[in-house]
Amino acid sequence: MEPAQNNPSVYLSDQADLVLVVRNTDGSKVRSFLVFSSMLRHASPYFETLLSPRFEGRQLREAQKEGSQLAIPGITLEEDDVEAMDFIFSCVHFRAERIPRKLTAESIANIAIQSDKYDFNGALIGWINCWCDANNFPQENGTTARDMGYGLLAAYLFRSPAFSTMSARYAHDLPPDFRQIWREYKILSRLPEALKGIYYGCPCFLGAATKNSPH
């Protein structure tokens, strides 16, 4: 484990026993979260393993025995979206006042990326069921094709049963130049190759994409 670093801190629990330092790809944005490790372990199989005695959990338990706030250990999470992790950590700690009332399509896609990486999909199922709906997924005027791409990416990474339905719906609504638009956004390169069936505007290809998905 690494010691907590000097950066803006977010206190998510009075029972905080762990500091998670989240750093974005280029290191330009860093935020520390004081979290309750038990909440993370219940919400994420990834953290259940990470914080087990075989890995980081040994030092965590040693710090807990000391009973000193100064002894709180820290773990640095690299190349993550800070705001997306803030949303996820706030959700699993039931800190509703920290959760934005409205999220953009890009924000939801970033949350999906982080949730997939750290296995929080089960803990976010209520949000996922709401987001993964072609009628509810946010779309801004003038960026419809981009936001549909974000919607597909989110549904795919969230492993949503609605992925096939959203794919079929968007296959009919995307403009002819959507591929060119998607190339402008690096995040959309995460969409699976099987989705190129959408290029032909045929929902049957999209059904196959879902069945062949590694998810």
- Estimate to the nearest angstrom the gap between the alpha carbon of 197 and the chain centroid: 26
Residue 104 carries which side chain, given as an amino acid letter?
T
Per-residue pLDDT, 62: 55
Residues 91 and 155 in one domain: no
In Å, what is the CA distance from 35 to each residue of 10, 64, 71?
A: 9, 13, 14
Asked whether residue 82 is domain-assigned, the answer is: yes
Is residue 129 domain-shared with residue 69, that is, in the same domain?
no
- Percent of the chain at pLDDT exceeding 70: 79
How far apart, in whole angstroms, are the C-alpha atoms of residue 144 and residue 98? Answer: 28
Report the distance separating Cα 69 and Cα 187, nearest Å.
Answer: 38
| Statement to judge: residues 207 and 138 lie in one domain | yes
Residues 206 and 136 in one domain: yes
Q: Same structural domain for residues 84 and 149? A: no
Asked if 70 and 148 sit in the same domain, the reply is no
Residues 85 and 14 in one domain: yes
Distance CA(160)–CA(93), nearest Å, equals 23
Count of domains forming the chain: 2
Separation of alpha carbons 85 and 187, rounded Å: 16
Is residue 108 assigned to a domain? no
73 lies in a domain?
yes
CA distance 37 to 47: 8
Q: Is residue 110 part of a domain?
A: no
Cβ contacts of 187 within 8 Å, gap of 6 or more: 106, 109, 110, 113, 150, 153
Half-sphere exposure of 26 (CA within 13 A, CB side): 1
The per-residue pLDDT for 207 is 47
Rounded distance between C-alpha atoms, residue 120 and residue 47, angstroms: 9
pLDDT (0 to 100) of residue 61? 53
Which domain does 149 fall in, by range? 125-212
Q: Which portions of the chain are predicted below pLDDT 70?
A: 1-6, 54-71, 194-215
**For the segment 126-173, what is each residue's pLDDT rounded down to a tens digit?**
999 999 999 999 998 888 999 999 999 999 999 999 998 998 899 888
**What predicted TM-score, i.e. pTM, was given to this entire model?**
0.82
| Cα(43)–Cα(57) distance, integer angstroms | 16
Q: Could you say which of 99, 116, 139 is where a domain stops?
A: 99
User: Of 51, 83, 99, which one is at a domain's C-terminal end?
Assistant: 99
Fill in the DSSP letter of residue 69: G
